[in-house]
Structure 1
Amino acid sequence: MTEPNPPTRAVALLHSTHDPATYEALTRKHRLTIVYTVHTDVAAVLAALIVVQHALEHAADAVVIPHLGALEPRTPWWVVTQAADLITGTQEYPLRSAVTTQHRTEQ
């Protein structure tokens, strides 16, 4: 018998300044099973590409980045939503939400 709502497979991106308590709270709140963890302090563009690659490789449905808050338009983090749901310390961005967000800001 399978669970009605199994935990979500997720990749975590942890910056050296992340708060472990925030990370733990997000994994519990969203019922995440972390399938891979990336520890990096590289620039946002490179970190976003790295985490997308791991999300695809590990068939993750979500990426959790606890040190981020709300995303500004045109930041490199929106690319994550092309591969998976994005969960930050303060927001949730569903899969493909970059398309609707970019479309709204261009009008």
Structure 2
Amino acid sequence: MYLGRARRAVALLHSNHDPAAYELLTRKHRLKIVYTVHTDAAALLAALIAVQHAFDHLADAVIIPHLGTLEPDTPWRVVTAAADLITGTQEYPVWSALATPPRREQ
């Protein structure tokens, strides 16, 4: 839990991302963006890019606002091997997306 400080986060933004939704998520989840990636790469490559930058920048979270609820076989789940994954609709704590159902937003 990160009660007293903002979490370090990497942002992965699609070219048609909604800046207002992105800002809302960063405030809601108390994120300090330490690196931003702008990419329209295929999901598998983009997920690997997010993981690499999470490791490189010691990020606690990766925010990908254009994603919603993850399907069981999506490559985006690999991000939780490195950090919490925050999508436009849910937060997947580190390792949880690989083992358990996602945590619902309040």
Give the TM-score, by structure 1 length: 0.89
Shift of 1:101: 3.4
More helix by share: 1
Q: Which residue is 2:10 aligned to?
A: 11
Aligned partners of 1:73 and 1:101 also within 8 Å: no
Superposition RMSD in Å? 1.2
Count, aligned residues: 99
Structure 2: where are the runs of 5+ without partners? Answer: 102-106
Q: Give matches, 1:52-91, under 5 Å.
A: 52-91=51-90
Q: Percent identity among equivalent residues?
A: 75
Partners of 1:30 and 1:99 in 2: CA distance: 21
After TM superposition, the runs of 4+ consecutive aligned structure 1 residues lying more than 4 A away are: none
Which range moved further: 53-62 or 4-13?
Answer: 4-13
Q: Which residue is 1:105 aligned to?
A: none
Give the TM-score, by structure 2 length: 0.90
